Amino acid sequence: YRGDRQTYDDMKNADLLSVIERRKGLPVALAVPYLAAARGLDTKLVGLAFPGHFLMRIEGARERTIIDPFNDGREIGAGQLRRLIKQLQGAQAELQPAFFEPVSARAVLIRLLMNSRLRAERSGALDRAIEFSRRMILIAPQDARLWADFAELHAERGNLAAAADAFEHSIACAPDEPFRAAATDALDRVRRALN
């Protein structure tokens, strides 16, 4: 399994069945077979919260090794990690401890679906993007940001009643007051458009 550098933005690179069949894809899609194999071998392997490029960590008895599923599962050292974060976020970016926190299986699936949703949205396939958002909500129904994204897609598509309903769910799950206020403003905007 390896990264698809030639057709990186191809939808097949985020479709798990296509990735398994083609043996190439996006970093997070490639991580899924790694995680399944590790579980079968009773090896501790976790996905990391590294932004913009999915990385994994093998947890040994005395050491930890970070690997890159996109680059043939090769080990990636501290210097390479620094270069990667600067490449992804700009010259001023620095490594943060939060980037190396393990993520849940649910978070891996959300990240995989988010890749598909973004590709569908960029290609103008809004109905398909809405479907990927719906799937993410099924996996994480209490995630206010997923509800807000779902609402925005519906609003863009002209499905204003569905957008209003999704914004209401987003408000109900809001993690803090600033988020709640922004979602409430968006809901008011949609309701005005409905009238």
Distance separating alpha carbons of residues 3 and 167, to the nearest angstrom: 36
Provide mean pLDDT across the span 43-62: 92
Per-residue confidence band for 72, with pLDDT thresholds at 50, 70 and 90: very high
Distance separating alpha carbons of residues 81 and 58, to the nearest angstrom: 16
Phi first, then psi: what are they for 67, rounded to 5°? Answer: -125, 160
Tell me the pairing of strands 24-25 and 2-3: parallel
Six-digit token string for 75? 């080990």
Provide mean pLDDT across the span 25-37: 93
DSSP per-residue letters across 2-45: EE--TTTT-GGGG-HHHHHHHTEE-HHHHHHHHHHHHHHTT--E
The answer to whether residue 62 scores a pLDDT higher than 80 is yes
Mean pLDDT in the chain?
94
Residue 60: its pLDDT value, please? 80
Provide mean pLDDT across the span 80-91: 95
- On whether the CB atoms of residues 195 and 160 are closer than 8 A, the answer is no
Residue 88: its pLDDT value, please? 94
* Residue type for position 159: N
**β strands within the chain, DSSP E:** 2-3, 24-25, 45-48, 56-59, 64-68, 74-75, 102-103
The answer to whether residue 186 scores a pLDDT higher than 90 is yes
The answer to whether residue 61 scores a pLDDT higher than 80 is no
Provide mean pLDDT across the span 108-119: 93
Provide mean pLDDT across the span 44-65: 92
Per-residue confidence band for 195, with pLDDT thresholds at 50, 70 and 90: confident
The answer to whether residue 3 scores a pLDDT higher than 80 is yes
% the chain with pLDDT above 90? 88
- pLDDT tens-digit readout, 115-166: 999 999 999 999 999 999 999 999 999 999 999 999 999 999 999 999 999 9
* Residue type for position 30: L
**Secondary structure class of 64 (helix, strand, coil):** strand
The answer to whether residue 9 scores a pLDDT higher than 90 is no
